[in-house]
Chains A and B, each alone.
Chain A
Amino acid sequence: MSETDAAWIDAALTSARPQAVGALLRYFRNLDTAEEAFQNASLRALKSWPQNGPPRDPAAWLIMVGRNAGIDEARRTRRQQPLPEDDQAISDLDDAESEIAERLDGSHYRDDILRLMFICCHPDLPPTQQIALALRIVSGLSVKQIARAFLVSEAAMEQRITRAKARVAGANVPFETPGAVERSERLAAVAAMIYLIFNEGYSASGDTAEIRTRLSEEAIRLARLLLRLFPGEPEIMGLTALLLLQHARADARFDAQGDLILLDDQDRTLWNQKLIAEGLALIDKAMRHRRSGTYQIQAAIAALHARAARPEDTDWQQIDLLYGALEVVQPSPVVTLNRAVAVSKVRGPQAALDMIEPLAPRLSNYFHFFGVRGAFLMQLDRNEEARVAFDRAIALANTSAEAAHIRMHLDRLMRDSKPPGKKAGT
């Protein structure tokens, strides 16, 4: 890779994008204008950088060029009066200009990027639109790439993004620097959006695996970016750690046919130790703050799995405690259900079953509930009841992939819960 390579320029444009689009949005206060201005600047970069060499600060260069392009565009379309002198002074592109750009933008860097991300996860937008908008605007993925990841047509995705933009344009997003409370609310919304992007990628399999892996990697990139802007936020450390620790298992999660391999059956030598090291380091840092939160707890659970060289080395007792803590901050029957799995390993299937029985009314349409319940029943040799639960689970699967996943999960549980010496199928 040399500095004038298309791949090099592409990486430079990608990494500069959040800051540059964020700054251009602050100037123009319009998402489309900002995006077009960045697009124009990128085209200029593709022409200029191979000839003149890349600028020392690509983001500052792109902001300058993009800003000028946007102003020119506005002049053309609105036949505005020429702009005042000091705007002329920053129309050239030497190093002095970069310094101006830096002065203009350095102080805004954090809030520009946070605002850009926050607009994408505006509460008026449904999650599907939030993710699509963020991948388009912040990450710079093409509409085609995003459409492939979500298994919809390009036209449908284009429409989804256009709708999302129209909605945020009418939603009056404030442009002034947010106060502490609002900033922390924005941070939480952005963290949730990044987690959504990751989960889209995490459920990848089959034909879309490649593009959806890209989503997971993109989520990690955004999480690291956010953490760099807010280095002392334990929940952002927790979020980043959670994504890293889960993504570390990516190469072990699917077999050659693209079918999911469960945690206990994964070849742990395929886990990415570099990502695990980074995740564990972040969890360590987060814990020092003693300000617990849902991402940190989930990351701590993932960390315990990551630390176990073999499935039987897993510290289920600690996982049970962590799920207990998660139940306190984020009470949900699904969390309790997950906790029950840990309880079954620590205190046996009867205790686990007792724990989930009260959840039945609320999880009567949740296939995992019946899968897990069936497994506990089987371990208790209540095979007839177990079979009923398994049948119910399979009937509740929403997609064929889900059904296959559940069926495999169930097969495995059935196999495991057979006492030794007993023949399968009896």
Chain B
Amino acid sequence: MVNTAKGRAIIIITFCVMLIAAVIAIGLGSVRIAVPDILATLFTAGSETKFDTIIFDIRLPRVLLALIIGANIAISGALLQAVMGNPLADPGLTGVTAGAAACVLVIMLVYPEYTYLVPIAAFVGGVISAALVYMLAWRRTGITPITIILSGVAVNALCGGVVGFLSILYSDRLPSAVQWLNGSLAAKGNNALFMVYPYAIVGWILSIFAIRKANIIRLGDQVAVNLGENVTRIRIVLSLLAVFLAAISVAAIGMIGFVGLIVPHMARMLVGSDYKYMLPMSMILGALVLLLADTGGRTLFAPLDIPAGILMAVIGAPYFLYLMRRRAF
């Protein structure tokens, strides 16, 4: 049990680390910018420095996008884990992300004139996947790690099939879609940022209200009923919120796996399983992890820009195996 003061301190420290990492990340790239110059550019009103264009048009949007998306996916994973009562429930493994991506691809490849519908398509795809996982994985005693993985495999395979089919039919329009599908933050810029942040803020505010319900539902269905809660309604509402957060992230930058799995797990190790601490911690840690993945991807192999989604998979999959060895599930 982590006591409240310690939990709070850990959250604040992580938040500070995240801020520092964000400032440093702005400075990294083909043009290095020193921290004082970054701060001067960011916080001096009306001043025009030579770094204005690089910072405001390229680096800052990308850093903010990484922070926001990382937070979204981590919260989404934390909520799904509460709802399914299982630490393996992650938007990637369960197929929510793939479902959202498949629906977005339909729009991008088949109906490119309706691009403005991409966020809605992502949400619809995510909801369909989540519903499928429930139908496949749910047993009378709840969801077990095995059933969740198996139904995730099925849903992911189905969505993979849809994606493969579409990419053969519309191979001429494919290159731009592939760049998006990989979970790359390159060249997304202010467009993606302005698309995602209003939704993200709504999602975060709703997540704050989800904390108490998430805490009650992790005590088990019978206890929740005993406390006068409508368990089915909580499940549906929290799942929709989790899918919403994952879907807008997919709509903005494509598929990023493992953040929703490993970040809530790390948060739980650091501050305990009380969602009052675990959820904010997941949010901050998710932002930090994706920022590191994206910044690493664009600097480690410069001038190559490795998509954050690929780097996350390379780091995330071994971590997932490590958790399995430790029998964390």
A-B complex is real = no
Interface residues of A (CB under 8 A from B): none
